[in-house]
Chains A and B, each alone.
Chain A
Amino acid sequence: QVQLVQSGAEVKKPGASVKVSCKASGYSFISYGITWVRQAPGQGLEWMGWISAYNNNTNYVQKFQGRVTMTTDTSTSTAYMELRSLRSDDTAVYYCARVSLLMGIVEFDYWGQGTLVTVSS
C-alpha cells in the first residue's frame, strides 16, 4: 500500500534552516510528484510547491521563492523540503503528499503524517 513517512518534529531558532524528509513506499516513486503543504496552528492549509520525482522540475509558491528547496533521492524514494531563514511564523505542521497527474487532473492523493516544525528563540 502507498505510504509516505515523514521525519520527526524539529525545534529551530529564528534564522536557522530545517530539512524535512518524506520516504515513499508502495508505488513507483519516479512516476509521481511530491508536494509540500503546511498548516500553522489552528489555521488552514497552505500550498508551498511541488517537485517532479521524474525530472526534478520544481514549482514553488512565490512567497517561498529563495527560501525553500525541494529535492528527491530516487535511490531511496525519499523527498526533502528545506526551508531557510526561519521565522516564528514558519511554525507549522509540514505535510508531504503524492501528486497524481492524469489527463490534466491533479490530485494530492496520499499524505504523510506531518512534521511539526517549531521556530522559537
Chain B
Amino acid sequence: DIQMTQSPSSLSASVGDRVTITCRASQSISSYLNWYQQKPGKAPKLLIYAASSLKSGVPSRFSGSGSGTDFSLTISSLQPEDVATYYCQQSYSSGFTFGQGTKLEIK
C-alpha cells in the first residue's frame, strides 16, 4: 500500500499568515492527490483534487501544488475559519490512503 506522510502534525499561525502543509507519498502517484479539510465535529470537505485543482466554492486563498511524491497545500492568508485538520489522500491506487492529518490552529 502507498503510505502518505504529512508534515507538520500540528501548526499554529497568526491570522493573515501564509501557511504551507506538505504531504509525501511512499512512491510516485503522479498528480493523483486530494486535500480535505475537517472542522471539529464535522465531516471532511474536499478542497483540492488532482493536486492543484480547486473544488468549486472553495476560497481562492487555498492552493495545491506538486507531483510525483511531494505535494503541498498553501493557504495564502490564514483566516479564523480555517481552523481545522487537513488531510491529504492519494487516489493513484485503489488503496486511497489518507495522510495522518495536520491540525491547524490560530496563534
Known: A109-B46, A112-B43. A45 touches B101 (CB 8 A): yes
Interface range on chain A (Cβ under 8 Å from partner): 20 to 34
Chain B residues positioned under 8 Å from A44 (CB to CB):
85, 87, 98-101
Whole-angstrom CA separation of A16 from B49 in the bound complex: 38
CB pair A105 B97 closer than 8 Å:
no
Query: Looking at chain B's contact residues, is the secondary structure mostly helix, strand, loop, or mixed?
Result: loop
Closest to B100 in A: A44
Main secondary structure of the interface of A (DSSP, over half): strand
Give the residues in chain B near A59, CB-CB below 8 Å. 94
CA distance A33 to B91 in the complex (A): 14
| A105 in contact with B49 (CB, 8 Å) | yes
Q: Which residues of A contact B46 (CB under 8 A)?
A: 107-109
Within 8 A of B (CB), among A86-120: 95, 97, 104-109, 111-114
Which among A95, A106, A109 has the greatest number of chain B C-beta atoms within 10 A?
A106
Q: Does A46 contact B (CB under 8 A)?
A: yes
Closest-CB distance, A57 to chain B (whole angstroms): 11
A35 and B96: CB pair below 8 A?
A: yes
Q: Which residue of A lies closest to B94 (CB)?
A: A59
Q: Does A47 contact B (CB under 8 A)?
A: yes
Whether B63 sits at the interface, judged by CB under 8 Å, is no
Please name 14 further chain A to chain B contacts, defined as beta carbons within 8 Å, in addition to the given A45-B44, A45-B101, A47-B95, sorted by A numbering.
A44-B98, A44-B101, A45-B89, A47-B89, A47-B97, A50-B96, A61-B95, A104-B32, A105-B49, A107-B49, A108-B46, A109-B46, A109-B55, A112-B43
Question: Which 4 A/B pairs are nearest by Cβ-Cβ distance?
Answer: A106-B91, A111-B43, A45-B98, A44-B101
